[in-house]
Structure 1
């Protein structure tokens, strides 16, 4: 699925992702600095019902958000020097079965992260972002179909 998303569209687009992934999903967010990965993560988490502020986990590597029957983990691996650091922070202790993982800079955690259900690729466009969602599991493919139907409605 490909979409052109403006800054004003991002909250609604994030909400549609959150609603589709409410049963759990691992999303890798790829793109250069300033593409909107954190903004989309914030929109997904708020769309799931989180009413407080959503902090960027740039320095903490992960911020958990406990929601009704679901946990959203927002990872930002930009400052990770070595994938092994994820082992030291206890990456294996983060449950992925009843959670949404939003992972910025997943390439920094290669070999230590679970496989994604959805890869979100950001590219620049004039006054907007081109966002492509790619399914990497049956669950991810079904979730993308749900997002497409909600977004195109």
Structure 2
């Protein structure tokens, strides 16, 4: 899927918001500046969040518990690959949707049932979005 603008990227996030369930994980891969946080921002705004949606690179985990379903925005960029991810307490988010940027920092076996979205740069400032869809997400991706 080609996304021609930041607005298109945010729209995909907004469409995803209507497809998620408590306990879902969306793993978002891609290089710096490709639009991972823009996608998450669209998701959170679609659920009714109205404040600024910063990248949680410093805090690593930013919970949005008042949304339905609750969501945790996770940015693992600052973690070294193979770090002790258990210290982040992400297992406590089993009732929320995890939106994870830089999920590869958690190891190759993390979140096997996650919807895996990859954003890459394409021509003329566009982005290419590809997805690996696990059985739990069949019928929910691509979003309508």
Q: What is the TM-score when the length of structure 2 is the normalising length? A: 0.86
User: Is 1:120–2:117 an aligned residue pair?
Assistant: yes
Contact 1:28-1:116 at 8 Å conserved across structures:
no
1:133/1:111 CA distance change after superposition, 3 Å = closer
RMSD: 2.0
Cα pair distance change 1:117/1:142, threshold 3 Å: farther
Structure 2, gaps ≥5 residues long: none
Q: SS of the counterpart of 2:65? A: strand
Show the counterpart of 1:107: 104
Q: Cα deviations across residues 64-83 of structure 1 (Å, max 9, x unaligned)?
A: 00234421111100000254
SS in 1 for 2:72: strand
Gaps of 5+ in 1: none
- The number of equivalent residue pairs is 143
Q: Which residue of 1 aligns with 2:138?
A: 141
Q: Which residue of 2 aligns with 1:94?
A: 93
Measure how far apart 1:5 and its partner are: 4.0
Task: State how far apart, in whole Å, the 2-side matches of 1:84 and 1:92 are.
Answer: 16
4+ runs deviating over 4 angstroms: none
Q: Specify the SS of the correspondent of 1:123.
A: strand
Q: How far, CA to CA, are the matches of 1:64 and 1:47 in structure 2?
A: 16
